[in-house]
Amino acid sequence: MKKTQNLDFLPVCPEDVKKRGWDAPDFVYVVGEAYVDHPSFGHAIISRVLESAGYRVAMLCLPEWKSAEDFKRFGKPRLGFLVSSGVIDSMVNHYTAAKKRRHEDVYAPGGRAGMRPDRALTVYSNRIHEAYPRVPVLIGGIEASLRRFSHYDYWDDKVRRSVIVDSAATLLMYGMGERSILECAKWLEDGMPESGLSALRGVCYMAKEPPEDAVLLPSHSETAADKQAYATAFVREYNEQDPVRGKRLCQKQDEMRYIVQNPPQPPLTREEMDKVYALSYTRQYHPMYEPMGGVPALSEVKFSICAVRGCYGSCNFCALTFHQGRIVTSRSEKSLVDEAKKLTEMPDFKGYIHDVGGPTADFRQPACDKQLKSGACANRQCLFPKICSNVKVTHSEMMRALGKMRALPRVKKVFIRSGMRYDYMLADKDERFWEDFCKNYVSGQLKVAPEHISPEVLDKMGKPPRETYDRFVKKYTEVNARLGLKQYLVPYLMSSHPGSRLENAIELAEYLRDTGFVPEQVQDFYPTPGTLSTCMYYTGLDPRNMQPVYVAKTQEEKELQRALLQFRDPRCFDMVRKALRLAGREDLIGFGKNKLVPPARDYSHAARAKGRAYSGKGR
């Protein structure tokens, strides 16, 4: 790793503060992950945005949280504390979809688990209140953004109050925070006038009375007691997450207080995004972590470039709609090429830019012209059940930018490894795009996300039909064959999503059998805050029409559905047979090309050999 002077980083200890000649920082930024000064990490962006505006920021990353002492490290900040759990919700970071404790945290030094607490926002904020009872505390990041209202918590299996209540925070910033943090900093400097609260977009706060112009949601007590009330609240929250047409929302949290959500911030303009990514990041983890083995998460993104924000794909299991929004914005070609040049100047650059993209790699502008004027359409999706006729389909700008990066000295290859929306790709009839993309930007494998093939499940996921994916596979195969390339697709699949019964999982297993696909990744549906699918999981209702939705909730059924997607693995044979018997599909037990699993009494040498081939990475 390049030797980096500590003064290139923001202060991490009182000695750093003294070296900068500060009497005290304006903000102490408390973060539930290691300090990595790279624009893939939210704390790096927010701290550098504040620094560029003239604020003094000290970083308190992964503090010792079992007492308040570490939170006094820098003394009382002039304006307040900023608190984030990190780029992942702390509960998702700590537990698998089966609620088992993870043994590694790639966002901590050396990948060491257990360095941040469960529900980090609440724990950190309460320790700050112990240390400095009246200091302002502003919470933000993904954990704050997705838990801003009363929300179903999978780990407690109950509806929890807004995290602003449990953390007793002064403000909650949701969504992408560059503009919000500067407006909030100015509000703090002005003495926190109550009259200025309503002007802070992208912010939630507590009030004793609901504002007159707010849309009132079912209260916390109503949503906790009545699943239909919960679904009603969620769909109203979901539909108002638009910076153009979104209204102020209000939800009663207890007998005396309401949470008020101001409308979302508009997405950054292209010029604003370019400035954010041009700030003086060191692009390294802090040198203090070197003896501990560094920070593993950096290796995944160190030579990657974030090109876009937002996603109008709006998959129901994804929280991006609730966090980044549906209106896509992107960086300019010059900005992307300038960052690529910086990568080539790093001493450990080997010639490969590993990934260029974002939530969706091939979206570069709003879906249609009216989104910036009227907002994204309420109660409609741009790509589901089919692509709207107003969607502008083009890859020309993306391909130009990739070509300019590929032409840079020292660059051998530029890859897009994931995030390509296959239905959007299929809508582009330009053969030059298809050939250029397959020839120059695929690393031998392209990861795509069909997720399932059953119509009932895809409908609840908000994903295109199986036929669309099949047409994409055919097109991708034909183009690579024409180019003389052996390149493969790696499909992401999901088990146990709301709407999926054993019969649907068997249907997917038969599809995998017939196509010869062996999934590299199978993800159990994970009910995380802020998604339509999680609302379905908890309530058993589709909140958009209040129709019942089947939900696999027992651990056994989840394991059976997952096993069916991995039917080739002998370790799954017993569960696959059990699932097939429960579904009345014993016809799929036996030998032959149309079977899924051998009979229990004949776990033969051939079956064991098949299992060794499966576990030998032949995917």
pLDDT digit string, tens, across residues 523-582: 999 999 999 999 999 999 999 999 999 999 999 999 999 999 999 999 999 999 999 999
Closest CA to 577 of 593, 558, 590: 590
100-123 core/surface letters (b: 16 or more CB in 10 A; e: else)? eeeeebbbbbbbbeebbbebbbbb
Give the domain-ending residue among 183, 200, 217: 200
Instruction: In whole angstroms, give the CA distance from residue 497 to residue 6.
Output: 47
Pairing status of strand 355-357 against strand 304-306: parallel
Task: Give the pLDDT of residue 518.
Answer: 86
In a domain, 612, yes or no: yes
Each residue's pLDDT tens digit, 316-334:
999 998 999 999 999 999 9
Instruction: In whole angstroms, give the CA distance from residue 242 to residue 265.
Output: 9
pLDDT band at 6 (very low <50, low <70, confident <90, very high): low
In a domain, 33, yes or no: yes
Q: Which domain holds residue 73?
A: 8-200
Give the domain-ending residue among 200, 222, 257: 200
**pTM, entire model:** 0.93
Closest CA to 588 of 609, 562, 607, 567: 567
405-443 core/surface letters (b: 16 or more CB in 10 A; e: else)? beeeeebeebbbbbbbbbbbbbebeeeebbeebbeebbe
Task: Give the pLDDT of residue 609.
Answer: 52
Cα within 13 Å of Cα(74), Cβ side = 30
CATH number at residue 96: 3.40.50.2300
In a domain, 488, yes or no: no
In a domain, 224, yes or no: no
Measured from the Cβ of residue 606, the count of other Cβ atoms closer than 10 Å reads 11
* Torsion 594-597-598-600 (CA) sign: negative
- The encoded tokens of residue 438 equal 């397959």
Task: Give the pLDDT of residue 613.
Answer: 45
Measured from the Cβ of residue 508, the count of other Cβ atoms closer than 10 Å reads 26
In a domain, 416, yes or no: no
Task: Give the pLDDT of residue 417.
Answer: 86
Task: Give the pLDDT of residue 2.
Answer: 39
Rounded to 5 degrees, φ, ψ at 147 are -115, 30
Task: Give the pLDDT of residue 519.
Answer: 83
In a domain, 192, yes or no: yes
Q: Say which amino acid occupies 109.
A: P
pLDDT band at 615 (very low <50, low <70, confident <90, very high): very low
* pLDDT above 90 for 618: no
Helix (H) or strand (E) holding 239: helix 227-239
* pLDDT above 60 for 611: no
Say if CB 251 and CB 217 are below 8 A apart: yes
In a domain, 593, yes or no: yes
In a domain, 378, yes or no: no
Q: Kindly give, in sequence order, each residue whose CB lies less than 8 Å from that of residue 209, ignoring residues fewer than 6 positions away.
A: 258
Closest CA to 267 of 327, 191, 356: 327
Number of domains in the chain: 2
Helix (H) or strand (E) holding 275: helix 270-277
Closest CA to 46 of 281, 214, 285, 377: 281
pLDDT band at 602 (very low <50, low <70, confident <90, very high): low
Give the domain-ending residue among 147, 179, 200: 200
Q: 3-class secondary structure for 117-156?
A: CCCHHHHHHHHHHHHCCCCCEEECCHHHHHCCCCEEECCC
Cis peptide, bond prior to residue 385, ω within 30 of zero: yes
Q: Say which amino acid occupies 566.
A: Q
- The residue-averaged pLDDT of 55-65 equals 98
Lowest mean pLDDT among 4-13, 111-120, 387-396, 504-513: 4-13
Task: Give the pLDDT of residue 477.
Answer: 97
Q: What is the mean pLDDT of the chain?
A: 94
